[in-house]
Amino acid sequence: MIEQRVVQWWIRIFILSWEVAVISARLAVGMAFLILLFLPSVPILLVLLPWRVARIYATNVIGKVVGRTLMWLTGCPVIVDGLSAFAKATADEQGRSVHPP
């Protein structure tokens, strides 16, 4: 009985360490990708330094690419609560139905 518990305990530790290793690898790849995207964005932003609006657009694009890629690499799903209510409210404001005939 004690041996069985010890074996189960070791199996749990192995599985947990494997999961931690996979998560760590995903985060390491995500950070490497972040560095790879950040390096070319610095010269672009330096060139756009005189134009505030263009710089804002550029950082928005960079942020979208980096954010979505890191979420995909780390396995974080995007869950939007109330999306159907938002779609219905938007459709009501525009005077059309959510589901076309």
- For residue range 25-72, what is the model confidence (pLDDT) as tens digits? 877 887 888 888 888 888 988 999 999 999 999 999 988 888 888 788
SS3 26: helix
Q: Which residues touch 62 (CB under 8 Å, ≥6 apart)?
A: 37, 41
Residue 6's pLDDT is: 61
Residue 56's pLDDT is: 92
Segments forming the whole domain that contains residue 56: 2-94
Tally of domains in the chain: 1
**Does a structural domain hold residue 16?**
yes
Decide if 26 contacts 73 (C-beta within 8 A): yes
Residue 51's pLDDT is: 92
* Token pair of 75 as six digits: 């396995």
* Token pair of 69 as six digits: 């890629």
**Does a structural domain hold residue 99?**
no
Residue 46's pLDDT is: 92
**Does a structural domain hold residue 48?**
yes
* Token pair of 80 as six digits: 């939007």
**Does a structural domain hold residue 100?**
no
**For the whole model, what pTM was predicted?**
0.53
**10 falls in which pLDDT band (50, 70, 90)?**
low
The percentage of residues in the chain with a pLDDT greater than 90, rounded to a whole number, is: 15
